[in-house]
Amino acid sequence: MGDAFQQVSDSMGELLSTFYPTAAVGDTTAGLTVYTFWMLLACVLLLVAMGVFVKKEAASTDLVPHGFFMNAMEYGVDFVRNDVCKATLGDTWRRHFPFLATIFFFVLFGNYIGMLPTLKPGTGSTGVTGAIALMSFVYFIAVGIRKKGVGGYLKSLAPAGLMLPIRVLVWVIEVFSTFLRLITLAVRLFCNMFAGHVVMGTFAIMCTIFVQPLVHQISAAALGTASMSLLWLVLLIIIYVVELLIAFIQAYIFTLLSAVYVQLAEQEE
């Protein structure tokens, strides 16, 4: 039994070492890590999918989408437009729709690329999620400054109508929480993708460990142990389905929060 525990912890260490961003092309200073490599692949895939979608849309004679691909893409675009942009931003949704849709589809494709076995999600490294979060951060501050001016935006962080000392205090807290948004956006997406894949990997290890006695010799006891791995296999499939759901939900949450921050920066006092 102690042997089995040792084996589990060894395999866990091996599993975690595959999550380090090793170089796929070139070296780690001037090249691509495994994460950025698959992120680039997701980008190319997204570009191709969007190109085909736009071309087919222009070529079709009627407004009704035909086939799985066209319907899926149209549903995605419609989802961002109605459930994210129109629902949170209100009248000005048209101006921010391109940016938010870009973020949504980039994160979505990054997440789903990682769901294929042996591939890594582009969004599973802090570098990529930090970059997207930074873009969102710069975008909503730029929107706020364009709308109210630098002074006006800084002043609008604290609600008007408070006594002066309390207003200064609230302003400091608000500035702090604004910078915290950048970190939470990045860390939330990274942790969801990273932890999800570690959990799936652990379950896969548990699946294989109970089969090993059966590989060495076929006996009733070995068959009994191997039946345990069936249970882990079922759990692994359940977790996989949950991860498919989470990949979509995280893309939605990232976009929704960006939209909420834009709306907060833009709103009139």
Partner 1 sequence: MNVIGYGLCVIGAGLGISFAAQAVANSMARQPEVQDRLFTVFILASAFIEALCLIGFVVSIM
Provide the binding-site residues for partner 1, judged by CB under 8 A.
Answer: 16, 187-188, 190-192, 194-196, 198, 246, 249-250, 253, 256
Helices 34-59 + 93-115 axis angle, to 10: 120
Shortest CB 253 distance to partner 1, Å: 6
Rounded Cα distance between 149 and 141, Å, is: 11
* Minimum distance from residue 240 beta carbon to partner 1 (Å): 17
Which CB sits closer to partner 1, 190 or 210?
A: 190
Q: Write down the least CB distance from residue 109 to partner 1, Å.
A: 19
Q: Considering only CA atoms, which of 109, 75, 104, 70 is closest in space to residue 88?
A: 104
Identity of the residue, 110 or 144, whose beta carbon is nearer to partner 1 in the bound complex? 110
Q: Any residues with CB less than 8 A from the CB of 21 and at least 6 apart, and which?
A: 28, 33, 34, 35, 125, 127
- Collapsing DSSP to helix, strand or coil, 233 comes out as helix
CB nearer to partner 1: give 122 or 144.
122
DSSP assignments along 191-208, one per residue = HHHHHHHHHHHHHHHHHH
Q: How far is the CB of 128 from partner 1 (least distance, A)?
A: 15
Residue 19 CA, chain-centre distance (Å), reads 16
Tell me how far, at minimum, the Cβ of 194 lies from partner 1, in Å: 6
Provide the minimum distance between the beta carbon of 258 and partner 1 in the complex, in angstroms, as a whole number.
14
Q: How far is the CB of 141 from partner 1 (least distance, A)?
A: 23
Please report which residue ranges of the chain form alpha helices under DSSP H.
Answer: 2-17, 34-59, 67-79, 87-89, 93-115, 126-156, 164-216, 220-266
Neighbours of 45 (CB within 10 A): 14
Token reading at 159:
């609600």
Query: The tokens 């008007």 sit on which residue?
Result: 160
H or E stretch at 25: strand 23-26
